[in-house]
Amino acid sequence: MQEQIVILTKKQIDHKIKRIAYQVYETNVNEKEVIIAGIQSNGYTLAKKLKNAVEKISPIKVTLCEVTINKKRPTDAIETSLLKQDYTNKSLLLVDDVLHSGTTLVYGVKHFLEVPLKQFKTAVLVDRNHKKYPVKADFKGISLSTSLNENVVVIFEKNKDRAILE
């Protein structure tokens, strides 16, 4: 078994989420509503945590949207829990836990560009710096330079959130 190195503890993750929430608020200070779209499973869990953090520090109404992307076949149809008219001409933040190759994020971005948006930003907890696509996160918790055979995993468990390098 490979050794696991904790790169972010629960306390550090909570701090990063709070910092990203302030960046989201600053970027949307004149908005009444922001759509936070989380990519299924961990991205959506992070989106929920960000929603709570943004609502604690600002008067902005945050609407959550779950984004379902087939990570093995990202060209398949992407599904969202909101209808297109629910986010048209609004400020939208696309969230994922780890930016690995950029594949998931770039296809998520492509999906949301099918409708006019007032503003479009991306956020990740961990940016791995090994990208296949020219995509960047506007807001990130931490940037890591890892080798290609290393994997970053974010684990959200009650009171045991952590990010590990395998």
User: What one-character DSSP code corresponds to residue 48?
Assistant: H
pLDDT recorded at residue 133: 82
Q: What is the DSSP string of 83-121?
A: -HHHHTTSEEEEEEEEESSSHHHHHHHHHHTTS--SEEE
Cβ atoms of residues 13 and 158 within 8 Å: no
Per-residue pLDDT of the chain (166 residues; tens, 9 = 90+): 457 889 999 999 999 999 999 999 999 999 999 999 999 999 999 999 999 999 999 999 999 999 999 988 888 999 999 999 999 999 999 999 999 888 899 999 999 999 999 999 999 999 987 778 888 899 999 998 877 778 889 999 988 999 998 8
Stated pTM of the model: 0.93
Distance CA 47, CA 43 (A): 6
pLDDT recorded at residue 125: 97
**Nearest in space to 127 (alpha carbons), one of 90, 100, 89, 156:** 100
Centre a 10 Å sphere on the Cβ of residue 43 and count the other Cβ atoms it contains: 25
**Nearest in space to 68 (alpha carbons), one of 59, 78, 60:** 78
Residues 6+ apart with CB under 8 A from 157: none
pLDDT recorded at residue 2: 59
